[in-house]
């Protein structure tokens, strides 16, 4: 298996990408290779001078870089030799089995749609994030690929994220909830009300109806379906709130038990790790004709390493074939 | 001042409502009175037999109850003598200066619009929740009154919540952010993009542009504007995530330092109180011709007591006059 990494993507590129590629050796199978894409002289500067890395890492030169705040489509058009464009084009040409980037998410989604196309039957790709909770992981989809959802899109996110949760994450018969503002059918906006009807008719998934914001952490469901605007707000809120609350608690405890700073620090470290996005290694873009793993812009080398692990799991379970067989030939609901 | 409480509203009605009314004595001014509304025999049963409460509490009989999951408008129509209907009608008739309920939020909003009407110039009322953060309180509006927002509604939430934050919460020149999925102008859905243009032109507020989910806790802004669907998801997510994370951390620490359970418990209690909705006492419904304070369904007596405090502050600062003077006669933006 050959896994490509956009070496120029994240906030700390190419340092963490190169370190992540080196660390990825631990999660590669025999014969697997990493392809690092970016300005070759720069990448060589960050790779060990003593060598050894050539055994599992290849370099592919790309001279340009899409930055974080560029408008996606314009950036891809004006920079045909960007590391991100080269990544998805190599994947399209069969030179890679999966693509990993911590760069501009919008540009990655656009490049994936442009070069890899959507899977047959899929109307809009969605980003699925696996969120740790005390009751197990919860897969939230979409968290930002599609901010103008139609009911059909939410229906397809339910199907695709349910397949991901069961096939890749190993959750048996995942419970799928639709994110709304109350359990009752009457609650929600027009989009959610129409999507609920479609999801309820969908026999291939275990749809449990509406869930609320608090249910992401209550153990009520394994998959949460929402539009990309709401999902992105939720994702960033969880990140910001988690860090803020933990910091407050730790400060409180440090003041209360100055003799036990070490224990407090260790407990804090454990819970931080439990909620650390790096442990989960990146979010798959579901519904495109390839395997694209989107990493947090602030990913560490561990985050990149884990994204490679996620990419391998995604590829080895043949998820895309399952999505296509489930969603193609379903034109009867396409009007929704 | 006379403050009415729907004694049959919350999950633990009328117990916490009666206890909250008794506790509210501590926050009342000289001559202020509480009017408890509900089935009088039941209320008397929960009031101290020894008396004394008559000095500041009056009872107003109402024979019916709107339950939590009833459809709002239908419930109000079929139950004209519900405690909630009587509450808002008494307020309309000038027999109350403010109304407090922990009951069915949708029904409270509907009853307020039906009996108190909207303030001149206001197109849709919005619920404002004051959220504690380490950087001070943040006012989020709307959190559930209006799930089908137009850009003009978000614009008005910005103006009303900014006035609330400054006049009632005492935040000088509050920074108003529009909840979106990135700071850049290009980020967001159509609603947010159009609302941003209106907010940017609004000279009466200090609009700082888009904010993200994480910014609610980052200290970036004092007011967050969003539609009622997103705001309600955010509100319930904060509630569920806060409790879940704290519980996890406390369990971890208990296991790590069994000799210091007391200290851990005390620190946990302090931080729980910091994030406890009861401390904030209820969310004002902004934009109606009266003062309606919406309490969490699971409010404690302290929550009801604090809602009375919030109602008094709202009434004494003449916020509604400020909202009207700011928003009436602004028909030029009414098309948005």
Supply the CATH number for residue B104's domain. Answer: 3.40.718.10
Give the end-to-end CA distance of chain B in Å, rounded to a whole number: 38
Name the H helices within A202-318: 228-256, 261-274, 277-280, 301-316
State how far the alpha carbon of A232 is from the alpha carbons of A126, A196, A228, A229, in Å: 11, 20, 6, 5
CA atoms of B216 and A243, how far apart (whole Å): 12
Is A324 a member of any domain? no
Is A331 a member of any domain? no
Contact A271 B248 (CB under 8 A): yes
Is B247 a member of any domain? no
A109 and A217, same domain (yes or no): no
A129 and A270, same domain (yes or no): yes
CA atoms of A12 and B137, how far apart (whole Å): 33
State how far the alpha carbon of B183 is from the alpha carbons of A87, B3, B196, in Å: 27, 42, 11
Is B31 a member of any domain? yes
Burial of B305 (0-12, 13-18, 19+ CB in 10 A): buried
Classified as helix, coil or strand, A190 is: helix
Question: How would residue A303 be classed by pLDDT, with cut points 50, 70 and 90?
Answer: very high
- Per residue in A210-227, pLDDT (tens digit) is 999 999 999 999 999 999
- Per residue in B129-144, pLDDT (tens digit) is 999 888 889 999 999 9
Q: Å from B12 to nearest chain A CA?
A: 19
Of B232, B243, B267, the CB nearest to A253: B267
A169 and A239, same domain (yes or no): yes
pLDDT (mean) for A197-216:
96
A56 and A73, same domain (yes or no): yes
A118 and A104, same domain (yes or no): yes
Total of domains in chain B: 1
With beta carbons under 8 A apart, name residues in chain B contacting A264.
253
Q: Are strands B98-101 and B292-294 parallel, antiparallel or unpaired?
A: parallel
Of A228, A237, A268, the CB nearest to B237: A237
- Check if the beta carbon of residue A120 is closer than 8 Å to that of residue A320: no
Kindly give, in sequence order, each residue whose CB lies less than 8 Å from that of residue A208, ignoring residues fewer than 6 positions away.
A175, A176, A177, A220, A221
At which residue do the structure tokens 């992401």 appear? A216
Contact B246 A245 (CB under 8 A): yes
Contact B213 A236 (CB under 8 A): yes
- Check if the beta carbon of residue A220 is closer than 8 Å to that of residue A208: yes
Q: Which two tokens stand for residue B329?
A: 């006669």
A90 and A44, same domain (yes or no): yes
CA atoms of B205 and B157, how far apart (whole Å): 11
pLDDT above 90 for A329: no
A228 and A190, same domain (yes or no): yes
Is B13 a member of any domain? yes
With beta carbons under 8 A apart, name residues in chain A contacting B138.
none
pLDDT above 60 for A334: no
- Check if the beta carbon of residue B8 is closer than 8 Å to that of residue B102: no
Kindly give, in sequence order, each residue whose CB lies less than 8 Å from that of residue B213, ignoring residues fewer than 6 positions away.
A232, A233, A234, A235, A236, A237, A238, A239, A240, B179, B234
- Per residue in B159-198, pLDDT (tens digit) is 999 999 999 999 999 999 999 998 888 889 999 999 999 9
Classified as helix, coil or strand, A110 is: helix
Is B211 a member of any domain? no
For residue B36, report the phi and psi dihedrals to the nearest 5 degrees.
-90, 125
Provide the domain limits for residue B96.
1-122+287-320
A299 and A237, same domain (yes or no): no
Q: Which of B176, B19, B174 is nearest to B102 (CA)?
A: B19
- Per residue in B184-193, pLDDT (tens digit) is 888 899 999 9
A153 and A189, same domain (yes or no): yes
CA atoms of B276 and B28, how far apart (whole Å): 22
Q: Å from B50 to nearest chain A CA?
A: 42
Dihedral angle over CA of B303, B308, B313, B316, nearest 10: 170
Is A327 a member of any domain? no
Q: Which of B68, B64, B90, B92 is nearest to B77 (CA)?
A: B64
- Per residue in A40-84, pLDDT (tens digit) is 999 999 999 999 999 999 999 999 999 988 999 999 999 999 999
For residue B15, report the phi and psi dihedrals to the nearest 5 degrees.
-60, -55
State how far the alpha carbon of B198 is from the alpha carbons of B119, B141, B159, B176, in Å: 20, 16, 11, 13
Residue A331 has a pLDDT of 58
A147 and A117, same domain (yes or no): no
Between A and B, how many residue pairs show a Cβ–Cβ distance under 8 A?
171
A264 and A149, same domain (yes or no): yes
A131 and A243, same domain (yes or no): yes
Q: Å from B147 to nearest chain A CA?
A: 6
Contact A249 B249 (CB under 8 A): yes
B335: left (phi over 0), alpha (psi -120 to 50) or beta: alpha
Contact B233 A213 (CB under 8 A): yes
Is B71 a member of any domain? yes
- Per residue in B108-132, pLDDT (tens digit) is 999 999 999 999 999 999 999 999 8
Q: Which two tokens stand for residue A192?
A: 């959610």
CA atoms of A99 and A91, how far apart (whole Å): 7
Contact B232 A245 (CB under 8 A): no
């Amino acid at each position: 298996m050959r896994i490509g990494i956009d070496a120029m993507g994240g906030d700390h590129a190419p340092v963490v990408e190169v370190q992540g590629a080196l660390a990825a050796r631990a999660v590669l199978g025999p014969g697997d290779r990493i392809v690092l894409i970016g300005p070759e002289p720069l990448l060589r500067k960050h790779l060990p001078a003593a060598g050894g890395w050539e055994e599992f890492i290849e370099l592919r030169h790309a001279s340009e870089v899409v930055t974080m705040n560029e408008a996606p489509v314009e950036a891809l058009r004006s920079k045909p030799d960007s590391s991100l464009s080269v990544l998805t084009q190599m994947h399209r040409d069969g030179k890679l089995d999966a693509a990993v980037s911590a760069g501009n998410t919008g540009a990655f989604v656009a490049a994936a749609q442009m070069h890899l196309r959507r899977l047959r039957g899929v109307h809009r790709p969605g980003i699925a994030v696996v969120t740790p909770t005390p009751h197990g992981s919860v897969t939230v989809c979409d968290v930002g690929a599609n901010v103008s959802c139609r009911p059909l899109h939410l229906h397809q996110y339910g199907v695709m994220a349910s397949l991901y949760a069961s096939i890749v994450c190993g959750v048996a018969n995942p419970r799928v909830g639709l994110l709304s503002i109350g359990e009752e059918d009457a609650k929600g906006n027009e989009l959610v009300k129409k999507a609920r009807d479609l999801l309820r008719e969908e026999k291939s998934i275990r749809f449990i109806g509406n869930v609320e914001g608090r249910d992401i952490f209550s153990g009520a469901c394994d998959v949460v379906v929402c539009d990309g605007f709401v999902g992105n707000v939720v994702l960033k809120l969880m990140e910001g709130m988690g860090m803020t609350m933990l910091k407050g608690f730790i400060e409180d405890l440090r003041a209360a038990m100055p003799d036990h700073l070490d224990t407090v620090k260790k407990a804090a470290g454990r819970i931080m790790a439990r909620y650390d996005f790096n442990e989960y290694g990146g979010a798959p873009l579901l519904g495109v004709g390839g395997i694209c793993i989107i990493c947090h812009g602030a990913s560490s080398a561990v985050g990149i390493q884990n994204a490679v692990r996620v990419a391998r799991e995604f590829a080895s379970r043949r998820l895309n074939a399952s999505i296509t067989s489930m969603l193609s030939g379903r034109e009867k609901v396409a009007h929704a």
